[in-house]
Amino acid sequence: MSGPKAEEVGRLLFRPGKRPCPFATHHFYHGDILSRESGAVLDEALVVLMRAPRSYTGEDTLEIHCHGSPAVLRAVLEEVLKAGARLAEPGEFTRRAFLNGRMDLSQAEAVADLVGARAAKAREVALAQLKGGLAKKVKEIRAALEEQLAMLEAAVDFPEENIETEPPSETAGKIDAVAGEIARLLAGYEEGRLYREGVRVVIAGRPNVGKSSLLNRLLGEERAIVTPIPGTTRDFIEEEIQVGGVAVRLADTAGIREAEDAIEEEGISRVWERVARADVVVFLLDGSAGISAGDLRILGGLKEKKVIVAVNKSDLPQRLGRADVERALSGSRPLRISAKFGSGIEELKKLILETVLGGEEMECREELLCNARHKDAFERAAEFLAQAGESLASGLSPEFVAQDIRDALQSLGEITGETTSEDILDRIFASFCVGK
């Protein structure tokens, strides 16, 4: 419970094991939770009161630590509501923490990311932002711009004072330095997004090349139905694994060929929809057969994607030599695997991460950008700074440059919540789990 009546509600329901109970802040007390109507004991519990402002929300906060039975929790919750409390809205505790200055908006969003983290790297990025890594960088950038803005505004507001100002070229250089720092942050967004959201991988190829077998091997379980009948998979199957601490979302898809009926045609259409949204496509070939015209047609549709070519069925006699594959695939080097026996599977997992990251080592920086809202705000700030540079180069009045910098500061303030509108706050906190 959070709010000015948290202690009052606690005293109504809690009977301490030892009396008196002063409810000293941040001290646990042992006792019973009672029904106010019957006086019956609902649970034996620990209760702790955290007085404002030293609490998560910045308000008086009371926690009742019950036993974990749903029946117990339901009974205690009902008594709390009868005593005058109400159920929290989604994200309400974190919203109150933000409004009470306990954290900025980027940290508040990091709470939701931390709760929803599906892999180790996502947890690390969310925790770094919760500790204020991104907020610190935004504060540094804003401070540099505010310094330039103050000088420009002084020259505009007090022209008769003959305030000494720096040459436009020097101002432009400082603005360019800030813009360069923003560009550096934006360059890390794709890496940060992969940490936060995971890598989307689509397994594509002709029917019967072993796509479902590969999915099962990657998952370590029999998730997809495998038969020798072409066209068994009509719709996509999605499952998730972790590779190097990163969530990898795998999609097994229908084999791509000339559809034999409306159902198969719809399945193939969905394959291409999934391909369009994928970060990486694993294009599967059958090593025991040659490259067909169908394989080449599929490959032609993947030209704009990051593609890993995997030659399956390496446990069978091979009809597909490396030279044949490289010639057909314009020099691409295929990875030979056996979905049936597992050879090459670990190499494939590593190659997936290397492909999405351009072969670079993943680095979990404190200020790593991973939120699309933050990216949009930084991009708008960069545009305004570019306009400021153009204004300086054109010799325009300082008023124009000052306005561009104000607009950039407005955009940056949206990241930390200093200039964020109420409707944006509503959208952000509506995505939280109930309470937190």
Residue 117 and residue 79 share a domain? no
Q: Kindly state whether residue 435 falls inside one of the protein's structural domains.
A: no
Phi first, then psi: give them for residue 284, nearest 5 degrees: -100, 130
Distance, in Å, from the CA atom of 177 to the CA atom of 398, rounded to the nearest integer, reads 19
Identify whether residues 374 and 350 lie together within a single domain.
Answer: no
Domain that holds residue 75: 6-87
Closest CA to 205 of 335, 292, 129: 292
Residue 389 predicted with pLDDT over 90: yes
Q: How sure is the predictor about 292, in pLDDT bands with cuts at 50, 70 and 90?
A: confident
Q: Which helix (H) or strand (E) holds 248?
A: strand 246-252
C-alpha 418/C-alpha 246 separation (Å) is: 32
Burial of 211 (0-12, 13-18, 19+ CB in 10 A): buried
CA proximity to 52, closest of 85, 103, 100: 100
In whole angstroms, what is the distance from residue 138 CA to residue 377 CA?
11
Question: Residue 227 pLDDT > 60, yes or no?
Answer: no
Is 361 within a domain?
no
At residue 229 the predicted structure's pLDDT band, cuts being 50, 70 and 90, is very low
Alpha carbon of residue 190 to chain centroid: 11
- Tell whether the model's pLDDT for residue 9 goes beyond 80: yes
Residues 29-37: what's their mean pLDDT?
95
| 272 lies in the same domain as 294 | yes
Is 237 within a domain? yes
Q: What's the mean pLDDT in 179-202? A: 94
81 found inside a domain: yes
Task: Of 2-11, 242-251, 253-262, 312-321, give the lowest mean pLDDT range.
Answer: 253-262
Strand bridging mode 199-205 / 280-286: parallel
Tell me, yes or no, whether 102 lies in a domain.
Answer: no
Arithmetic mean of pLDDT, 220-231: 57
Return the CATH number at 80: 3.30.1360.120
Contact yes or no for 272/286 (Cβ under 8 A): no
- Are residues 241 and 161 both part of a single domain? no
* Cis check: omega of the bond before 317, within 30 degrees of 0: no
Strands 280-286 and 307-312: parallel
pLDDT, mean of residues 274-296 = 88
Would you say residue 94 lies in a domain? no
pLDDT tens by residue, 114-140: 999 999 999 999 999 999 999 999 999
Q: Are 348 and 208 part of one and the same domain?
A: yes
Residues 317 and 233 in one domain: yes
Are 211 and 352 in the same domain? Answer: yes
- Residue 182 shares a structural domain with residue 206: no
Last residue of a domain, one of 52, 87, 122: 87
Q: Read off the pLDDT of residues 206-215 as tens digits, 9 standing for 90 and up.
A: 888 988 899 9
| 179 shares its domain with 78 | no
Residue type, 226: V
Domain boundary among 303, 329, 356: 356
- In sequence order, which ranges of 230-371 are alpha helices (DSSP H)? 262-277, 293-300, 322-328, 345-356
Q: Is residue 119 packed enough to be buried (19+ CB in 10 Å), middle (13-18) or exposed (0-12)? A: buried
Domain boundary among 334, 356, 378: 356
For position 232, what pLDDT does the model report? Answer: 47
Pairing of strands 237-243, 246-252: antiparallel
Kindly state whether residues 174 and 230 are assigned to the same domain.
no
Listed ranges 209-218, 220-229, 250-259, 353-362; the one with the highest mean pLDDT: 209-218
CA gap 165, 153 in Å, rounded: 11
H/E run at residue 46: strand 41-50
In-domain check, residue 33: yes
pLDDT class of 234 with cuts at 50, 70, 90: very low
Domain containing residue 398: CATH number: 1.20.120.430
Residues 249, 315, single domain; the answer is yes
User: To which H or E segment does residue 55 belong?
Assistant: none
Number of domains observed in the structure of the chain: 3
User: Exposed/middle/buried for 245, CB within 10 Å: 0-12, 13-18, 19+?
Assistant: middle
pLDDT of residue 203: 93
SS3 assignment, position 195: helix
3-state secondary structure of 93: helix
Do residues 23 and 136 share a domain? no
Q: Is 80 inside a domain boundary?
A: yes
